[in-house]
């Protein structure tokens, strides 16, 4: 009996199933996952990037992937530390629970400084980068210096020496709210300046281009910062204009600050999660069909 040989596309290299992560290496592209029955082509559609060959090589992909995680992760740690400090303030004032963690405020500028170091990977991420991807992140990295200083003054000094903010009358309330305004403005500038480079990284992922990663997170963070800044500016105006010193103005200011802060937290958390998902793609590069498929002779 004669046997005919034909060429069949099979998977090569490591390729876990998109659904159950079973290793599919060696299977035919027309087959299914032995573990969960998901068609192999479903995994290929999710993993293979048809535009993989069109991107310019990154200068330091491993450093870039780590830097993005550090940039977003350290920023998220700083925000969560602030929330923890405010929570302990509320417990102390409302429930008379003597939890004193003011020393944690000193960690906020440290985390933000670490985030600033991570942001250096946004400077000229690839060969042939545009002016916006070069000079914008450079200016943003410089802006981290005054940002860290203002955060140090706010959380490591004023919050310890000038009374509990929001829950009691701070002894240096004007100085505190002015620092918050400065922090909000600088943070917005940094977000705007790094956006072109961040989008360059993100569009290397087929997940982002197909809508499976957040596309406008940085814009949302800027909008959230603007909401919190509006609350702080109302507070500044109320401290200067006697006619604005009333419960309604104070309530509006506090609500805007709280809402903006919550939205910033959600936005930065989303950016951190996207950075985690982008890590293997940035580190190893997008995968083309040739990276995961080879042709083998099989008996027909």
Distance in angstroms (rounded) separating the CA atoms of residues 144 and 139:
9
| Cα→Cα distances 138→58, 132, 161, 247, Å | 18, 10, 35, 43
For 227, list phi and psi in degrees, rounded to 5. -65, -50
The number of C-alpha atoms within 13 Å of 276 and in the hemisphere containing its C-beta is 8
Distance in angstroms (rounded) separating the CA atoms of residues 109 and 104:
10
Handedness of CA 104, 110, 115, 118 (dihedral sign): negative
Q: Report how far Cα 92 is from the mean position of its chain's Cα atoms.
A: 32
Task: Give the helix/strand (H/E) hosting 9.
Answer: strand 5-11
Per-residue pLDDT of the chain (300 residues; tens, 9 = 90+): 333 333 345 656 667 776 787 887 777 777 888 888 878 776 766 666 555 555 566 678 888 889 999 999 999 999 999 998 888 877 766 666 666 666 788 899 999 999 999 999 888 877 766 777 788 899 999 999 999 999 999 988 887 776 667 666 665 678 888 899 999 999 999 999 998 888 777 776 655 555 555 555 788 899 999 999 999 898 888 877 776 667 778 888 889 999 999 999 999 998 898 888 888 777 766 555 555 555 454 444
Any idea which residue has 């943003």 for tokens? 140
Handedness of CA 90, 96, 97, 101 (dihedral sign): positive
pTM recorded for the entire structure: 0.76
């Amino acid at each position: 009996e004669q046997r005919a040989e034909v060429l069949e596309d099979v998977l090569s290299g490591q390729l876990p199933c998109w659904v159950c992560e079973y290793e599919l290496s060696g299977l035919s592209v027309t087959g299914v996952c032995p573990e969960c029955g998901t068609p192999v082509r479903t995994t290929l559609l999710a993993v293979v990037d048809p535009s993989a060959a069109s991107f310019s090589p990154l200068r330091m992909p491993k450093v870039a992937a780590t830097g993005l995680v550090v940039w977003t992760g350290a920023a998220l740690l700083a925000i969560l530390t602030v929330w923890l400090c405010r929570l302990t303030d509320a417990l102390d004032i409302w429930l008379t629970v003597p939890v004193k963690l003011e020393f944690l405020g000193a960690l906020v500028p440290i985390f933000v400084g670490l985030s600033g170091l991570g942001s250096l990977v946004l400077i000229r991420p690839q060969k042939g980068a545009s002016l916006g991807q070069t000079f914008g992140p450079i200016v943003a990295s410089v802006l981290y210096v005054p940002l860290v200083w203002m955060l140090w003054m706010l959380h490591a000094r004023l919050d310890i020496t000038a009374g509990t903010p929001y829950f009691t009358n701070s002894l240096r309330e004007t100085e505190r709210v002015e620092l918050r305004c400065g922090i909000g403005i600088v943070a917005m500038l940094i977000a705007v300046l790094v956006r072109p480079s961040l989008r360059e990284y993100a569009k290397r992922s087929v997940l982002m281009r197909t809508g499976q990663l957040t596309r406008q997170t940085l814009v949302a963070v800027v909008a959230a910062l603007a909401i919190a800044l509006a609350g702080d500016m109302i507070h500044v105006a109320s401290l200067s204009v006697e006619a604005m010193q009333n419960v309604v103005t104070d309530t509006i200011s506090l609500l805007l600050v709280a809402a903006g802060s919550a939205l910033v937290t959600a936005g930065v958390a989303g950016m951190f999660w996207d950075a985690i998902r982008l890590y293997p793609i940035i580190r190893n590069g997008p995968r083309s069909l040739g990276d995961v498929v080879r042709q083998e002779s099989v008996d027909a």
